[in-house]
Structure 1
Amino acid sequence: MTSAAAPADAVVRQAIAWWVRLQSGLADGGEREACHAWLAQDPAHREAWARLESIGRDARRVPAALAHAALESPAMPGRRAVLRNVLTLAGVGVAGWAGYRHAPWQRLAADLSTGIGERRAVAVADGLRITLNSDSALRLRLQGSARGIHLLRGEILVSAQPRPGAAPVRVDTGHGVVLAGSARFDVRRTPQGARLGVYEGSVALLRDGQATQAAGAGERLSYGGLDGVERQVADPDRLAWIDGLVVAKDWRLDHFADHLARQRVGVIRVDPAVAGLRLSGVFPLDDAERALKALEPALPITVTRHTRYWLQVDPRMG
């Protein structure tokens, strides 16, 4: 559990506005003094600023050449609207937007978070352990008997055990609420919806206006928007990320590349001519170049590293 509560959303937005203004290089002496005065007004301001400094390393790792690609990529509509308003206020341009794509506001507002390529396991309460995957963020609600998690971004593995006097674990994904007494399950949140996999015990999924869905060990539920809930078989090998591995079973090459890309800063481009090639195997999750090059003997592809931030997968010539 963190030593300080996450700043309020209003303070988060103010801190972001000040940060991008100063990082843009457009701020004058008066604005810098005004920022210092804002920091001195309230300890919550300083806490928000400290969190920005701690996650800013991800933004600084994004080269300018990637800024345009980041700006053009689709983003969660709500977050995009908020950030564009903030960026307009701050006068920051494309490079600033790219920074937010790689150091998103959810991490600033979170009680627990991970950077890109980072994974973290935390015992947050008696009988409740959470493992965060790369680029994930969550808030905790642990007052009294409550054991609540609000997943803001990314993916978590939850191990929950019942405790006398404690409420069931409650995980809000923004697309529905998962309730669990004794269970081991993972949840991934995306802009389009969420995916829930149950590996031990059972859980209940609550969605506004729809009947409660139950899921037991070995089941996976996908849900989002106004669509119904899709029920599939849960694959325990999906949890290989905990050990820094990825287990691919007849995956498309472009899907494999996207999976690796979530663990690194930069881009992986796959030529459409080879995007549909299929692969299976166990690969390192934290070294995308090594994982892709391991496919060269088996698939007609060539993997080229243009910079540390850009990997290109093309058809092999000749």
Structure 2
Amino acid sequence: MNEARSFSPHVAEEAVQWLLELQQGPLDPRQQQAWQRWLHADGEHRRAWDHIQKVNQQFAGLPASLAQATVGAPHSPGRRRALKALLLLGMAGATTLALRQQHWLPPLVADYRSPLGQRRQLQLDDGSRIHLNTTSAVDVRFDAGRRLIHLLEGEIMLTAGADARPLLIGTDQGLITAGRGQVNVRQLPGSTQVQALQGAVTLEAAGLHDEPRRLAEGQQLEFERQRFNPARPLDANSGAWVDGMLIAARMRLGDFLAEVGRYRRGQLDCDARAANLLLSGSFPLGDTEKILDSLEAALPVKVRRFTRYWVTVQSRV
């Protein structure tokens, strides 16, 4: 069996991230333990780690100028992005094909990224602030005529800086023009969700030639390349992730667990009998295990942990 077929693109990315961390210098004891836990958590991790080390060793044969720009300790963001791209391209066969087909490479070499389960805040040159939610990536392109932020994956909250140039957010489905307010944008499979938190925004779908759609403050909607869904009021959870919270107001348990699953590794399932149970409350995103534990007290469900990375929530009735 082709070695590259024995681990997934997601595990390949994790192996690359750990290699980059190790090349930065010695790990502290906490990081060393985290790396060992990851390495021994699954045979797939060990196979990916062995393979990525072989790929890295092959770079010793590159021309000196290229080797110096990539394999050397990647202290600058540019070197880190170049090394990530080369390492992932070196994960030959099925893994590289899957990475390309799923558009993994652009997020991996993005200007700014946030890892799974973590959030990040950026201050841009124009004074704008961007919060990146879990597993999010953006490219930033400012020129004399406009300011463009390309959301490659995940979710951001943008607070616009005072600048005369138009401020645009690009997604797979189109463009959002932000005013001098605050907007939350999430890239979903096949659609974009936009929440106008402060001030109105305008939306342009990539496959339509109509006039831009206006979204008023306090509203949200989803749009596709050729269709806008109706606008509706913001919900209780809109933007709460920036403060590290997940707020449920009579939320379906199935939808709630889908949100929790964005912040943790592994498989988080909900059986069909429990999926439509309704849940309300405020939950800190920093500890998803505590969130899962709290469900048994709030609802007639049982949380079954087959492994650390495979959890199922089942109905007790």
The 3 A distance-change label for structure 1 pair 26 and 302 is closer
- AA partner of residue 91 (structure 1): G
C-alpha separation in 2, matches of 1:306 and 1:33: 37
Distance 1:273 1:49, change over 3 A: farther
Aligned counterpart, 1:127: 127
1:249 equivalent to 2:249? Answer: yes
* Cα separation, 2, equivalents of 1:316 and 1:270: 12
| 2:59 aligned residue | 35
- The equivalent residue for 2:109 is 109
Question: 1:90 — aligned with what?
Answer: 92
Q: Which residue of 1 aligns with 2:195?
A: 197
Tell me the TM-score normalized by structure 1: 0.71
Deviations 1:140-195 (A, max 9, x none): 002335321000000000000332xx412111012111112311010000221100
- Identify unmatched segments of 5+ residues in structure 1: 1-15, 56-82
Aligned residues of 1:106 and 1:153 also touching (Cα < 8 A): no
Letter in 2 for 1:50: R
CA distance, structure 1, for counterparts of residue 52 and residue 202 of structure 2: 50
Counterpart for residue 65 of structure 1: none
Q: Which residue does the alignment assign to 2:217?
A: 217
How far residue 198 of structure 1 moved from its aligned partner, in angstroms, is 0.4
Runs of 4+ in 1 over 4 A off after TM superposition: 22-29, 31-34, 43-49, 52-55
Distance in structure 1 (CA, Å) of the matches to 2:121 and 2:233:
25
Shift of residue 238, structure 1, vs aligned partner: 1.8
**Aligned residue number for residue 13 of structure 2:** none
Going from structure 1 to structure 2, the CA distance change for 1:39 and 1:214 (only over 3 Å counts) comes to farther
SS in structure 2 of the partner of residue 296 of structure 1: helix
Q: Give the percent of matched residue pairs that are identical in Structure 1 and Structure 2.
A: 31
| Residue aligning to 2:176 | 178
Query: Residues 53, 115 of structure 1: CA spacing in aligned structure 2 closer, same or farther, 3 A cutoff?
Result: farther
Contact 1:24/1:92 (<8 A) preserved:
no
> How far, CA to CA, are the matches of 1:222 and 1:207 in structure 2?
11
| CA displacement, residues 123-143 of structure 1 (integer Å, 9 cap, x when unaligned) | 112231100000000000023
Pair 254,37 (structure 1): closer, same or farther in 2 beyond 3 Å: same
Task: Specify the alignment match of 1:50 in structure 2.
Answer: 80
| Distance of aligned partners of 1:169 and 1:207 in 2 relative to their CA distance in 1, 3 Å threshold | same
Q: Kindly indicate whether the alpha-carbon contact (under 8 Å) linking 1:161 and 1:181 is maintained by their aligned counterparts in 2.
A: no
In 2, Cα distance between the equivalents of 1:28 and 1:300? Answer: 47
- The CA distance in 2 between the partners of 1:316 and 1:23, in whole Å, is 39
SS in 2 for 1:260: helix
How many Å separate the matches in 1 of 2:189 and 2:312?
A: 26
Q: 1:286 to 1:54 in 2, by over 3 A?
A: farther
Write the letter of the residue equivalent to 1:185.
V
- Distance change >3 Å, CA 52–CA 284, structure 1 → 2: farther
Cα distance in 2 between the residues matched to 1:104 and 1:282: 33
2:167 to 140, 153, 169: 169
Cα pair 1:248 1:282 within 8 Å, conserved: yes
Cα distance in 2 for residues equivalent to 1:315 and 1:291: 17
Residues 91 and 148 of structure 1: CA distance in aligned 2, closer, same or farther (over 3 Å) = same
Distance 1:180 1:121 in 2: 18
Q: In the aligned structure 2, how far is the partner of 1:159 from the partner of 1:272?
A: 39
User: What is the alpha-carbon distance in structure 2 between the residues aligned to residue 288 and residue 23 of structure 1?
Assistant: 26
SS in 2 for 1:237: coil
